[in-house]
Structure 1
């Protein structure tokens, strides 16, 4: 199994985890309008907490798959 490589930006080493967090943020920004149309807050007691849970699940999925 291949290990995750660190990212180098201008001579500064950045953990690959930061790249996964950035990718998760970008995907969540793209999903946000769809979640608003689906009215996620009606299905859950706390909408922002449900969004945070989705973001954590997406982050874990990205780490495992990539």
Structure 2
């Protein structure tokens, strides 16, 4: 699993992600996120990497469970 940033324009990507959520309800945003995760997982297509990413994301959630900053 690669953890160092590789997106050429991370700020632009984040802005596009936020824009995709504008005007959506919380449920619609959750659906958008689910579709995006599945599309990106399909691009990766490596089951071992995907499972490692799930573990890393779940672990990161546990590490930040005391923060109150929402993630879009």
TM-score interval for Structure 1 and Structure 2 normalised by the shorter chain: 0.3 to 0.5
Q: If the length of structure 1 is used for normalisation, what is the TM-score?
A: 0.35
The structure where strand makes up a greater share of residues is 1
With CA pairs under 8 Å and 6+ residues apart, which has the higher RCO, 1 or 2? 2
Larger radius of gyration: 1
If the length of structure 2 is used for normalisation, what is the TM-score? 0.33
